[in-house]
C-alpha cells in the first residue's frame, strides 16, 4: 500500500510551491510528492522541487494531456475560466494507492499525510468548512429543487484544494460519463465566481463515493483552515483555532492573493524562506510586481544552475 501527495503547478506559482513543500518537509521528510504539470511551463519548477524536495513529475504526461483535452471538450473550449484545473483528475490514476491532493496556496503544520489514516473506514477524505457557506460556489438552487442531493448529502460539499482518496475508484470512462452528465445539467452548478473544477468534482464525489468523511464533522470540531478567517491565534509559526483550542492542520489562502499585508503573511513568509535569509517586506513590495520580482530572480538562478 503506497501513500503520497499530488500537487498541480507551473512556473508561475513557484514561490507558493516552495512554501508548501518546505512546510511539508518541515514535518515529513519521507512521503513522496508528485507534480502534475498545470500546463507546459513547468520545467523550472520541476527542477527546483526535485532538487530541493525530491518531488517527481507525473510519469504519463500524454495521459494528462488526453484527459485534459477530453474533459475540456465536453463543456466547450471557452466554458471554464481555468480548465487546466481538471488535470488534477490524474490523481485517480497515478502511482499511489492512497493519495492526498493539495493546492499550492497552502502551508501545512503537521505530518499531513497522517490524515489519510481515516481510510480504514472511508474512501474519500476532505477537511474544510465549505458547507457552512451554503451551496454557493458549488451548486445552484436547482440541485435542491430537483432533489439531486438531500440536505444531509450537501453537508458533504468540500473545497477542491485539499482532498484525498484511493486509486482506481474512478475509471477514465466513468469520469468522462460524469462530465457529460454535468454538461447536460449545467444549471445545477454555480460558476459565478469563475470556479472551474470545484462544482464538478463535488458532484462526482457526492454521486459516486458513499464512504466519505470530512474531518470538520468530527465530534470534537476540528479547527478551521481558511486564511480568510481572522480569528486564528499565532503561536510561533503554528496557528491555533481559539474556538476549540486546537492547532490547525493547514492554512489555505483560497481566493486570497499571497503578498505582504495579506492575512497571516508572516506565517507564509516563514515557511517560504525557511532555511534562507528572508527579504524585507519593503523589498518585496517596492515594485508593483512584488513577489513576481522574486519569482523572476529565482527562475534566473535556477536556469543558471545556482
CATH of the domain at 205: 3.90.550.10
Indicate whether 251 and 291 sit together in one domain. Answer: no
Q: Per DSSP, what are the bridge partners of residue 247?
A: 240
Indicate whether 54 and 71 sit together in one domain. Answer: yes
Indicate whether 67 and 107 sit together in one domain. Answer: yes
Contact 241/215 with Cβ under 8 angstroms?
A: no
45-93 pLDDT, tens digit each? 999 999 999 999 999 999 999 998 898 888 877 777 677 888 999 999 9
Which helix (H) or strand (E) segment holds residue 202: the answer is helix 197-208
Q: Which residue has the cell 491565534?
A: 233
Please tell me the distance from the alpha carbon of residue 232 to that of residue 245, in angstroms, as a whole number: 10
How many domains does the chain contain in total? 2
Indicate whether 129 and 212 sit together in one domain. Answer: yes
**Total-model pTM:** 0.91
Indicate whether 288 and 241 sit together in one domain. Answer: no
Indicate whether 226 and 300 sit together in one domain. Answer: no
Contact 258/249 with Cβ under 8 angstroms?
A: no
Domain that holds residue 225: 3-273
Give, as one character, the DSSP assignment of residue 125. Answer: E
Indicate whether 196 and 213 sit together in one domain. Answer: yes
274-299 pLDDT, tens digit each? 999 999 988 888 644 545 555 666 66
Indicate whether 26 and 79 sit together in one domain. Answer: yes
Poorest-confidence range of 48-52, 79-83, 96-100, 214-218? 79-83
So what's the pLDDT on residue 176? 94
Using CA atoms in the order 49, 50, 54, 60, what is the torsion angle rounded to 10 degrees?
110
Q: Which residue has the cell 536556469?
A: 303
Indicate whether 227 and 288 sit together in one domain. Answer: no
**Proportion of the chain above pLDDT 90, given as a percent:** 74
Indicate whether 39 and 183 sit together in one domain. Answer: yes
Amino acid at each position: 500500500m503506497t501513500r503520497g501527495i499530488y500537487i498541480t503547478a507551473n512556473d508561475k506559482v513557484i514561490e507558493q510551491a516552495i512554501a508548501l513543500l518546505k512546510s511539508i518537509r518541515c514535518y515529513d521528510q519521507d512521503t513522496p510528492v508528485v507534480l502534475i504539470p498545470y500546463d507546459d511551463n513547468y520545467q523550472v519548477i520541476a527542477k527546483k522541487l526535485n532538487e530541493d524536495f525530491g518531488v517527481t513529475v507525473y510519469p504519463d504526461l500524454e495521459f494528462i494531456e488526453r484527459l485534459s483535452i477530453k474533459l475540456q471538450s465536453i463543456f466547450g473550449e471557452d466554458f471554464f475560466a481555468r480548465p487546466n484545473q481538471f488535470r488534477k483528475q490524474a490523481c485517480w490514476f497515478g502511482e499511489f494507492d492512497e493519495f492526498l491532493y493539495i493546492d499550492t496556496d497552502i502551508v501545512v503544520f503537521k505530518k499531513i499525510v497522517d490524515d489519510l489514516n481515516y481510510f480504514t473506514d472511508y474512501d474519500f477524505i476532505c477537511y474544510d468548512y465549505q458547507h457552512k457557506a451554503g451551496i454557493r460556489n458549488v451548486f445552484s438552487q436547482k440541485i435542491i429543487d430537483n432533489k439531486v442531493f438531500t440536505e444531509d448529502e450537501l453537508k458533504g460539499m468540500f473545497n477542491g484544494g485539499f482532498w484525498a482518496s484511493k486509486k482506481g475508484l474512478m475509471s477514465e470512462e466513468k469520469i468522462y460519463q460524469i462530465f457529460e452528465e454535468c454538461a447536460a445539467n449545467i444549471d445545477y452548478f454555480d460558476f459565478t465566481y469563475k470556479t472551474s473544477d470545484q462544482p464538478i468534482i463535488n458532484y462526482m464525489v457526492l454521486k459516486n463515493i458513499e464512504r466519505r468523511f470530512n474531518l470538520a464533522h468530527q465530534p470534537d470540531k476540528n479547527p478551521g483552515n481558511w486564511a480568510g478567517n481572522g480569528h486564528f491565534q499565532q503561536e510561533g509559526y503554528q496557528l491555533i483555532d481559539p474556538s476549540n483550542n486546537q492547532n490547525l492542520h493547514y492554512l489555505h489562502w483560497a481566493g486570497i492573493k499571497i503578498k505582504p499585508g495579506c492575512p497571516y503573511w508572516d506565517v507564509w513568509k516563514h515557511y517560504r524562506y525557511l532555511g534562507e535569509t528572508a527579504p524585507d517586506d519593503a523589498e518585496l513590495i517596492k515594485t508593483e510586481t512584488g513577489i513576481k520580482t522574486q519569482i523572476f530572480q529565482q527562475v534566473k538562478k535556477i536556469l543558471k544552475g545556482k
